[in-house]
Amino acid sequence: MENISYTVSDIQHIVDAQRTFFRTGATLDVKWRLRQLRRLRDAVIANDKAFEEALYADLGRSATEAYLCDIGPIVVEINEMLRGLRRWARPEKHFSGLMCFPSLVTKVYKMPYGVTLVISPFNFPILLTLGVVAASICGGNTVVIKASAKSQHCTEALKKFIAEVFPPEFVTLIDGGHDVADMCLEQRWDKIFYTGSPKVGKHVLAKAAENLTPVALELGGETGNWCIVRKDADIKDAARKIAFFKLCNAGQICININQVAVAQEIADEFIEALKDAFRSQIGENAQDNEEYPKLITTQAYNQCSSIADEYRERIVFGGKGNAGKLRYSPTVIYPVDINESIVQKELFCPLLPIVPFMDSNVGAVLDVIAEREHPLAMYLFTKDIKWAERVMRSHQYGGGCINEVCVHMMVKGVPFGGVGHSGMGAYHGEWGFREFTHASTVLKGSTRLNLSLREHPYCEKKVLPLLRFLEK
């Protein structure tokens, strides 16, 4: 598809057209929204091969991983919306209360924000574009998508897809680099949803603040997501799951494990189990395996390779790259101190630092995690479920798992989102509907039986006792 060079005027025209369409009231009709969601779902299914090819071209994804991580979850997500939207959108009815007499009924309407901007990332370019678009449509909004310039093939496929499925006054996609993204952010939106890095998230939030635009941010966390493996954990099970997750998309996942804290008592056994798991799942030379995903750009590859070279003497597995294919093998670095720089930043690549600790001192590890920026995900491996649940109830993070990795985000009916530097807001299913709607409270008054108690002049001896009685 031919690339278009956008101007501020072009983007303003797009926003104006969508605002005009929104004001027709077409998107308020729930039946109309359901038709658009069905159209989106059916089109995703019909275009799955095109999306698989684009994901392979950009990220080296196999067809299985492309469907598992990008395409399939969209279909599941939309099906949940189709089943639940009528219920979610139904106005809530409340008794107004005696303080509001003679009013008896107050309703809460779930109102769309209006014209929304969705800025999507490169790492899951199909899922994290169309999944968010579906939530916005579910809420009754129009959508302008600013797709990633890094995942060029997916952006091209998405632009063609969107143009064929929806009219531009309802949903449209804008491509281009950071300059185009900044042009978009200069516009007045009714809601912005951004997925990406905390650094850019701050910029998006600052630009949105100029118009007091509500924002949802899905970020990765500046100091990364922790996984803790206690000495009583099932070592082989933990290693198998951690290896699977680190291989997925070559570590380019916002909820991926950034570093593993392993009890010193089992560290050697765990590392051997982890090596075996990597060998079993991808082989000794993953960088040459066509099924293994690649890093998104030469810059990302070079950054990964550079960090690995800094820790070359402590690499116990992997550390091999294929620059021509942009593949870097899963790389285990051990031992790493909890205060080293590599565990104080989001890596977003297949490097995996291992931080040993004495199991009796796990509280100190948790203290360090709590002092740093809140992660998007946290994972605990242990047989002490009561301890694990206490940790999960008392720490700040987006979401996580006990004795499992990543699949918490696939559970129906639960929110996905971060906190602090890992984001704000949440979506998936009904939570996505909530994120893209504003709850408007409307009291239905009465023209009869209105008491004069709230009006001047006050008779305090009579009014105050009655008001205090009504508070009960």
**Catalytic residue numbers?**
218, 254
Torsion sign, CA atoms 147, 246, 217, 224: negative
The neighbouring-strand residues paired with 229 are 262, 381
Burial class (CB in 10 A: 0-12, 13-18, 19+), 5: exposed
Given a contact cutoff of 8 angstroms between Cβ atoms, the answer to whether 390 and 286 are in contact is no
List, in order, residues 6 or more apart from 234 with CB less than 8 Å away.
381, 383, 403
List, in order, residues 6 or more apart from 15 with CB less than 8 Å away.
115, 144, 187, 188, 189
The neighbouring-strand residues paired with 218 are 195, 423
CA dihedral (92, 95, 100, 101) in degrees, to 10, reads: 140
Given a contact cutoff of 8 angstroms between Cβ atoms, the answer to whether 322 and 313 are in contact is no
Count CA atoms within 13 Å of residue 186 on its CB side.
12
**Cα–Cα–Cα angle for 69, 143, 150, rounded to 5 degrees:** 50
Strand, helix or coil at 254? coil
Burial class (CB in 10 A: 0-12, 13-18, 19+), 453: middle
